[in-house]
Amino acid sequence: MADYSPVRGCIVFRPEGFAIWENIVAELDRRIKRTGARNAYFPLFIPESFIRKEASHVEGFSPELAVVTHGGGKELEEPLIVRPTSETIINHMFAQWIKSYRDLPLMVNQWCNVVRWEMRTRMFLRTSEFLWQEGHTAHATREEAEAETLTMLEVYRAFCEEFLAIPLIVGRKSAAERFAGALETYAIESLMGDGRALQCGTSHFLAQNFSRAFEIRYLDETNQWQYVWQTSWGVSTRLLGALIMVHGDDQGLRLPPAVAPVQAVIVPIWRKPAERDSVLEAAQRGILALTQAGVRCHLDDRAGITPGFKFNEWEMRGVPLRIEIGPRDVAAGEATLARRDGAGSASKVKSPLDRLPESVGALLDDIQKSLFRAAKDAMDAQTHEPKDFNGLAEQMEGEGGGGLAYVYWCGNPACETKIREETRATCRAIPLAQSAPPQSCIVCGEESRERAFFAKAY
């Protein structure tokens, strides 16, 4: 899927990995546009003075900034920041574009790369340069902006669970985990196979922090100047890491059919030259029928490579369905379909060759659901409700992940700090809808009206 590049912390996407990202982009872009946002593009370089306009923003990003001081052989009059996020440059433009209530809401999204100078990098999960989408919106009222923040949170939840088959916990972040410059941050989080949590996407309610810093104002219907209310939201190529760690097994990738670049591969099998033509003819008819039915498929007719080698290679790549066609299959008018999400003979079924599209379509739908169920069962099995701090500490012991701990927490930053320092678990999400009666905070014993998910995280 990717290789390390000569530049520390950067990676090279191979075609197999980039094809997955392209499918993510295509589907998520459709969902984002349905909310009313339109795509735009903003510069990679940002004047240093822009970054310093919003105090908490610059404080949050300063350690990660890459700065350009020279260009064309000369020292620049003002250093340029290589885009770590685009709040500042986009808000500079919003201030030019927004003058009246008639200009609102203004909702833009961009697909781009960003650079954050990470000290410790990990492929897909934390790299110095990564790809993402970032949405930015401006609204006339607080209520509209808050509604947009939660709308995008739901877009991300549905996308990850339906398209990527990744089960999630959803909620708001604690103050310590908020985006720099946001009044509230909401997140989708998932649990990886090793018991560590991964933040898969965020949606931020920025309130008026940036509009006041960048003087983004509009004349309302009474001809009075008002500051806009804003949001920002994004997901990144970190989702590829989530796909690998949620669905992968000892054989390699297991890709959900919805996102898989190749949903089904046909492997023709013959031993004698006389068998070759009839097998290949049946395989080519199968590819044509599947393609016309909208299935992304591939015919592996490479010569000089054994079927067993091909089976192993396509399993490693995570292709959801393998279709085997040999001389006996041709004679019987059928094919053998092997599911990547299963194991052993139970994962193989027969299908009439003339009904291949229907059989494949049904199996792909079932594989999508099966992968989600398996991931959800695994997350549920690693979710616990420790009753006291010692129980939480025991759950998080060791170098590996300790799963999710769903605990009562009073919200006091001192209690959160104690959990982080003594267990290495951080607050991943505070669910939005909570109906359980108050109980004692797991740290200090004070009354707590909310529960939160804590976990070790990437």
Per-residue pLDDT tens over the stretch 342-368: 754 458 899 999 999 999 999 999 999
Of 351, 375, 306, 355, nearest in space to 166 by CA: 375
* Other beta carbons within 10 Å of 335: 24
Distance of alpha carbon 92 from alpha carbon 103, whole angstroms: 15
Structural domain spans, the chain: 2-247, 264-366, 383-455
pLDDT at 120: 84
CA separation for the pair 28, 23 (Å, rounded): 8
According to DSSP, the residues that pair with 339 across neighbouring strands are 321
pLDDT under 70: residue ranges of the chain: 54-61, 343-346
Quote the tokens at residue 110.
């961009």
Asked if 131 and 113 touch (Cβ cutoff 8 Å), the reply is yes
**Cβ atoms of 130 and 113 closer than 8 Å:** yes
User: H-type helices in 174-322, by residue range?
Assistant: 209-213, 238-247, 273-292, 307-317
pLDDT of 56? 64
Distance, in Å, from the CA atom of 139 to the CA atom of 105, rounded to the nearest integer, reads 5
Closest CA to 392 of 382, 384, 380: 384
Return the structure tokens found at 141.
């009222």
What's 264-366's CATH class?
alpha beta
User: Residue 164 burial (CB < 10 Å; 0-12/13-18/19+)?
Assistant: buried
Q: Fold identical between 2-247 and 383-455?
A: no
How far is residue 181's CA from residue 365's CA, in Å, rounded to a whole number?
Answer: 42
Residue 167: predicted pLDDT: 98
**How far is residue 404's CA from residue 357's CA, in Å, rounded to a whole number?**
41
User: CA 341, CA 370: separation in Å to the nearest integer?
Assistant: 8
Classify strands 334-339 and 321-325 as parallel, antiparallel or unpaired: antiparallel
Fold exhibited by the domain 383-455 = Translation Initiation Factor IF3 (3.30.110)
pLDDT digits 0-9 by tens, 399-443: 778 999 999 999 999 999 999 999 999 999 999 988 889 999 999
Instruction: Decide: 227 and 280 in contact? Cβ < 8 Å.
Output: no
Query: Rounded to an integer, what distance in angstroms lies between the CA atom of residue 179 and that of residue 166?
Result: 23
Q: How far apart are CA 35 and CA 148, in angstroms?
A: 9
pLDDT on residue 54: 64
Core vs surface per residue 94-127: b (16+ CB within 10 A) or e = bbeebeeeeebbbbbbbeeebbbbbeebebbbbb
What is the C-alpha R_g of the chain? 26
Helix, strand, or coil (residue 138): strand
CATH topology of domain 2-247: BirA Bifunctional Protein; domain 2 (3.30.930)
- List, for residues 11-53, the tens digit of each pLDDT value: 999 999 999 999 999 999 999 999 999 999 999 999 999 888 7
Distance CA(320)–CA(309), nearest Å, equals 17
Q: What is the pLDDT of residue 200?
A: 97
Exposure of 309 by Cβ count < 10 A (0-12 exposed, 13-18 middle, 19+ buried)?
exposed
